[in-house]
């Protein structure tokens, strides 16, 4: 019952609470920084990318929460919970940036959370090595998406670019930590399926 309550609390906090970052924003100033040279079209483009990134962090919270609930390994649970806390910084930064850009998070966040939680629970039930494999592969794919965003974000949107750059560093560290902890490489078809699901999610979240 205690585990169920913790899991429900994590879901409610992720989806509905105001998140506070434990680290200073990577912007080097205010996350609300909005250079005057950004056009309406550029603001819209930046907002779409940051909405996708916010969805990715919602899914990361769900994945880590489910995997932490499924494992019986205390050390692994602590590692997953620590990664989830770091991802909370990303949630806060991306949401604050969306607000600064005059936009909103994805309306489908509860759906994205549920799907990622189910995936994390299944992976966790299979075994810790597979669960860590999902973490490593997910973070690798997220890093690729963030890298593509850095190439496509408006050059003048230095605030969004700084946030995305730091997120990329953190995701790469999470992938490395998962492999160091014993992650197995997932089969090719599974990786392809994950890429396909991520493509659907990111394309939808770009607009909704």
Alpha carbons 180 and 76: distance in angstroms, whole number: 12
54-81 pLDDT tens trace: 998 898 888 888 888 888 888 888 888 8
Query: Is residue 190 one of the residues assigned to a domain?
Result: yes
Residue 35: which pLDDT band, with cuts at 50, 70 and 90? low
Q: Tell me: the pLDDT tens digits for 80-93?
A: 888 778 788 898 89
This prediction's pTM: 0.84
Phi-psi region of 95 (alpha: psi -120 to 50; beta: other; left: phi over 0): alpha
Alpha-carbon separation of residue 123 from 69, 119, 132, 135, 158 (angstroms) = 11, 6, 8, 10, 37
Q: Is 91 contained in some domain?
A: yes
Q: What is the pLDDT of residues 136-177, one digit of tens each?
A: 888 898 898 899 999 999 988 989 999 999 999 988 988 898
Residue 81 lies in a domain: yes
Q: Does residue 25 fall inside a structural domain?
A: no
CATH of the domain at 86: 1.20.1260.10
- The pLDDT of residue 28: 64
Domain extent, residue 69, equals 2-14+39-205
Query: Is 31 a domain residue?
Result: no
Of 32, 101, 90, whose CA–CA distance to 58 is shortest? 90
User: Total structural domains in the chain?
Assistant: 1
Whether residue 130 is contained in a domain is answered as yes
Rounded CA separation 40/17 (Å): 29
Alpha helices (runs of H) in 71-127, residue ranges in sequence order: 74-100, 109-126
Q: Does residue 170 sit within a domain?
A: yes
- Confidence label for 4 from pLDDT (cuts 50, 70 and 90): low
Q: Has residue 144 been placed in a domain?
A: yes
User: Is residue 57 within 8 Å of residue 171, measured between CB atoms?
Assistant: no
């Amino acid at each position: 019952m205690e585990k169920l309550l913790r899991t429900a609390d994590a879901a409610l906090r992720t989806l509905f609470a105001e998140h506070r970052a434990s680290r200073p924003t990577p912007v080097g100033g205010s996350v609300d920084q909005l250079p005057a040279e950004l056009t309406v079209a550029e603001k819209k483009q930046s907002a779409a990318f940051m909405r996708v990134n916010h969805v990715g962090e919602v899914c990361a919270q769900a994945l880590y929460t489910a995997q932490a609930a499924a494992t019986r390994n205390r050390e692994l649970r602590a590692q997953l919970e620590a990664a989830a806390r770091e991802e909370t910084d990303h949630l806060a930064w991306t949401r604050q940036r969306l607000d600064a850009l005059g936009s909103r998070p994805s309306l489908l966040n509860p759906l994205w959370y549920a799907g990622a939680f189910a995936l994390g629970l299944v992976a966790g039930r299979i075994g810790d090595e597979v669960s860590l494999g999902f973490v490593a592969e997910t973070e690798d794919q997220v890093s690729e998406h963030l890298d593509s965003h850095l190439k496509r974000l408006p050059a003048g949107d230095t605030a969004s670019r700084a946030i995305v750059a730091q997120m990329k560093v953190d995701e790469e560290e999470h992938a490395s930590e998962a492999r160091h902890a014993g992650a197995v490489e997932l089969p090719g078809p599974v990786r392809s399926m994950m890429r396909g699901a991520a493509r659907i999610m990111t394309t939808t979240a770009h607009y909704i």
